[in-house]
Amino acid sequence: MIDQPDRQFSLGAWFASIILLFLVILCVPLFIRMPLATDVVLYDVQAETVLDGGTLYQHMFETNLPGIVWLHMLIRPIIGMSSDALRCVDLLFFTGSVTLLAFWSRRSQLSITGMLWIAIALYAFYFSLSEWCHFQRDTIILLPSMGALWMRRKQLDRLLADKQIRVASIWGWAFLEGLLWATAFWIKPFVAVPALCVWLGSVWLLGQWRRSLLDLTGLLSGGLFLGAAGIAWLWQTGAWPWFLETFLEWNPEYVAARKSGWTVMRFAQFLYRFYPWFLLNLIAIPLALIMLKDGWKARRKAEPEDVSSPDSRDQSLLALMYLGWLFQSMAFQHLFDYVHPPAHLLAIAVIGGYLGSRYSQHALGWGWKSGMALFLLLVVLTFPAFKPDRVRLWKTCLLQSSDAELKSKLALLVQVDWEDLAAVREFLAEQQLKDRELHCYNSTLIYLYPELGLQPATRFGFFDSVLVFCRKHRGDLHQAIQDSPQKFIVTDLIESGFNRETALATAESPEKNVPPQYPVSLKGAYPWSQPVVFRSGRYLVHRVERPLGKFIGGGFVPTETEVQKFLQRQKESTSENNDRKND
C-alpha cells in the first residue's frame, strides 16, 4: 500500500519538474532582456550620486526611506550598470522568495510535487508581469520578510517544545528576526503591517504572555539596532537634516496624492493588467480565514499535542502574513502595479498550501479540479511568453544583450519609445555635455542620465512628478532650475498631456520640428518656450536660453489660453507693483 502512492508521487514530481524547467528555459532569456522600470533607474542615479560623493536627499531628492538606494549602492559596483545584470539579481532575489514560499507548507503534508506546482505558479505569475513590477521595493522586501516569518515559526517551535529554554536564547532569536523585519522596513515601511499581524498571531498561538513580552523586547531591539545604524549613516553622510525636511515638509503632499489615484478607471486598468491572477485573491481570502478558524479551534483544545500542531501554526502564520500584506497594499499605498505582486504571491502560497495539505488526506472534489483547470486555461491564453511574436525573440534574447529595438519589442507596458529615445541619446552625446547640463523634464526620460553618464541638472530626478505631487513647493523647483547650469532640456510630449496621435504628428512645414498642435506662442512657459533643436517622435530637445520662464499649468504643455491668462496676470501684477511704487 505504500509503494503505489510513492510511485505516483514520483511520476507527478518528475512531470512538475519538467514543466518548471520548461517555464524557466522559455521565460528567463525574455525576462532578462526586458527594460527596467523608471523607478529602478532613478534608484541607480541616486546610488551613483552618493557613491560619487553626493548626499542623499540633498543632492538627489527622494520621498522614500533610503533602503532601496543602499541596496543599489551595494549591488551596482559589483555587477556594473547593465540592465541585464540587474535583472539577473532580481531573478536571484525572487528565486529566494519562491523557495521560502514553496517549502513553507512542507510540514502540512505538502508533497514535493505540490511544492513544485507552487513554484511553477509563482514563477508564471512573476514572468507575466510588466517591467513596472520587476526589482521593485515591494517584491524585494518579500525575501527578508519571508526569512523573518521562518524565524518566527522556529521561535514558536522552540518555545512550545522546550519549557526550560534560556532567556538569552529567546531574546537572541527574536533579535535576529527583528533585524530581518527592519531590513525590509528600511526599504519600505509598510511591511510593519504584516509584521505586526504575524507577531500578534504568534502571541495568540503561544499563549505565554511572559515569554511573549521577552520575545517582543528582542524583536524591537533588533529593529531599533538596525534603525539606529541607518540613522547613523544618514547623520554621518550629512543627509539627516535633508531627510527630515523631505519627510516633514514634502511628503505630506505626496502621501495625500495616494487618494486621488484610486479611481474606478485606474482600478479597472489594474485588474486588466493582473488578469487572471487577481482572481486568486477571491479564493485566498476565504481560505486564509478558514486557516485562522482551524488554528483557533486547535488553540482552544486542551490537548497539548493539538495546541502545538505544527501544520495548524504554519497555516495560521501564513494566513496572517497574506491578509496583513493585502490589507496594507490596498489601504495605504498607491494603485501602482508594483505594489501588489507580493500579496498575489502569498495568495498562491496560501491556496497551494491549503490544497496540498487537503490532497494528502483525500482527493480533491470535482469543483476544485474544474476550477483549477479553468484558471490554468486562462493563464495559458494570457501568458505573454506563449505569444508567437514574443516566442520568436527567444533565440535573440539568448544570444544578444539588450538594445533599443529588443527593449521595444519586449516591453509589456509601453512607457517609453525606445528607438526614438536612442536617437535623442545619440544627439545629446554629440553635444559633449557635462554633469548638470542636461535636464530631463519628464520621469520617463530618466534613462538618459546613466546612458550618457551625466548627473541631472537639479536634485529632482523625477522633475515633473514632484511638480505635480508637491505643488506647494513649486517655488523650490523653480529656484532649482534657475540655479542649475542646464544647457539642454528634454521633454516627453505624451507624458506632458498629448495623446499618442497628436504627439507623433508632423507639421506640414519641414523646418518645424514640433507637432501641429504644439502651441506657437508659449512665451515664458518653462520648458515649452525654450527653442526646440531636435525631435525624435514624441521627444523634444530644447536648447536653453535665459530667462528660463515660469511654470504654467500643472506640469503639462499649457494651452494658448493658459499662457495668455498667465501673461495677463503677470501684466496686472507688474502694473500693481508700479502703482504702489508711485504712491
DSSP secondary structure string for all residues of 248-269: IIIHHHHHHHHHHH--HHHHHH
pLDDT digit string, tens, across residues 284-301? 999 999 999 888 877 766
Determine the average pLDDT of the residues in 497-517: 85
**How far lies 554's CA from each of 30, 176, 258, 488, 537, in Å?**
38, 47, 17, 21, 23
- Given the C-alpha cell 550598470, which residue does it identify? 81
Q: Minimum mean pLDDT among 117-126, 413-422, 451-460, 553-562: which range?
A: 553-562
Does residue 490 have a pLDDT over 70? yes
pLDDT of residue 9: 54
pLDDT of residue 318: 96
Cα separation, 407 vs 148, in Å, equals: 36
The DSSP 8-state label assigned to residue 440 in this structure reads E
Cβ–Cβ under 8 Å, residues 408 and 420: no
Cα separation, 352 vs 100, in Å, equals: 13
pLDDT digit string, tens, across residues 104-114? 988 877 888 88
pLDDT of residue 362: 57
Work out whether the CA dihedral 329, 330, 332, 335 comes out positive or negative.
Answer: positive
Q: Which segment, 192-196, 473-477, 561-565, is predicted with the most confidence on average?
A: 192-196
Cα separation, 502 vs 498, in Å, equals: 6
User: CB neighbours (10 Å) of residue 361?
Assistant: 7
Q: Which segment, 5-19, 164-178, 202-216, is predicted with the most confidence on average?
A: 164-178
Q: Minimum mean pLDDT among 165-174, 372-381, 461-470, 552-561: which range?
A: 552-561
CA torsion angle 19 23 24 26 (round to 10): 130
352: buried, middle or exposed (CB in 10 Å: 19+, 13-18, 0-12)?
Answer: buried
Cα separation, 28 vs 87, in Å, equals: 10
Determine the average pLDDT of the residues in 402-420: 92
pLDDT of residue 306: 46
pLDDT digit string, tens, across residues 373-394? 999 999 999 999 999 999 999 9
Task: Show the 3-state SS of 315-342.
Answer: HHHHHHHHHHHHHHHHHCCCCCHHHCHH
C-alpha closest to that of 137 among 184, 98, 99: 184
Determine the average pLDDT of the residues in 526-547: 93
Does residue 238 have a pLDDT over 70? yes
- Return the higher-pLDDT residue of 65 and 256: 65
Determine the average pLDDT of the residues in 542-556: 85
pTM of the model: 0.92
C-alpha closest to that of 413 among 261, 263, 269: 269
Determine the average pLDDT of the residues in 405-424: 94
pLDDT of residue 448: 97
514: buried, middle or exposed (CB in 10 Å: 19+, 13-18, 0-12)?
Answer: middle
How many CA atoms within 13 Å lie on the side-chain side of 381?
A: 9
278: buried, middle or exposed (CB in 10 Å: 19+, 13-18, 0-12)?
Answer: middle
pLDDT digit string, tens, across residues 313-365? 899 999 999 999 999 999 988 889 999 999 999 999 999 988 877 665 556 77
pLDDT of residue 356: 77
pLDDT digit string, tens, across residues 329-343? 999 888 899 999 999
Secondary-structure percent of the chain, ordered helix, strand, coil, rounded to 5? 70, 5, 25
Mean pLDDT of the chain: 89
pLDDT band of 309, cuts 50, 70, 90: confident
Work out whether the CA dihedral 344, 346, 352, 354 comes out positive or negative.
Answer: negative
C-alpha closest to that of 387 among 412, 422, 418: 412
Does residue 1 have a pLDDT over 50? no
Determine the average pLDDT of the residues in 174-178: 97
C-alpha cell at 154: 522556529
pLDDT of residue 577: 55
